[in-house]
A = this chain, B = another copy of it.
Amino acid sequence: MRLPFDARMAATLEHLKPPVVSFHFGLPPEPLLARVKSTGARIIGNATTLEEARWLEERGVDAIVAQSFEAGGHSGRFLGSSPAEALGLFALVPLVADSVSLPVIAAGAIGDERGIAAALTLGASAVQLGTAYLHTPEARISDVHRERLFTVPTLFTNLMTGGLARGLRGRLIDELGPVRGEVPPYPLASEALAPLRAAAEKQHEYGFGPMWAGQSAPLGRPLPAADLTRTLAAGTLAILRREA
């Protein structure tokens, strides 16, 4: 089960000394954060609103991921803003870039080189692509999940983990509706669902587990990961040069 960042995890970081540590749901309490900082790691925080971006800047992160409404997987929203007010990447990136003095890493709905070039144009210093790599042969997802990236719309659901996260529609969402009040809080719902999911997947029914995906999933290409990275980089540079 997923657990909050704790002293044991801090000790692991002190041992491994990774160059970058990225937090998704806010930041650990100050004494733990201080331990991470003192390893020399660059620290990245995740913001879904201007308030979260400013909160992270005040606590001394080195860069901010601006995670938009379109992003696949869990929204990192941590300061209590309403999901009904969630911002698209087109609004979020320039608003965050104007509000903080840190590098902004755009995340959510960037599916190809056009998206990378557009995010940089909006004020991002870098981009983060997740769903694009679900199309790669290296991604360990079911064939059903992989095929549906091209054909099935995404939406936010809390059924899978208790937290709001964007994924493809599937059987459980169709049966219950995507968001229900009685779902156990994050991350407990995934434990509660595990036996049902395991039984369903034995019958090749994958709609009782998460099939995370962002809104630009259909833009993806099934290249090996390294080739995809090189293709995206070359394509982005070509776009930025062509616009001259």
Contacts and interface: CB of A to CB of B under 8 A. Distances in A.
Contact of A94 (B94, B98, B216, B240): B216
A215 B109 contact: no
Interface stretch (A38-46, A115-123, A200-208, A221-229): A115-123
Contacts of A114: 94, 121-123
A215 B87 CA distance: 7
A155 interface: yes
A26 interface: no
Interface in A133-177: 153-156
Contacts of A30: none
A243 B122 CA distance: 12
Nearest to A50: B218
A63 interface: no
Nearest to A178: B84
B88 A153 contact: no
A98 B235 CA distance: 16
A47 interface: no
Contact of A91 (B87, B95, B98, B111): B111
Interface string A59-74: 0000000001110000
Contacts of A68: 88, 90
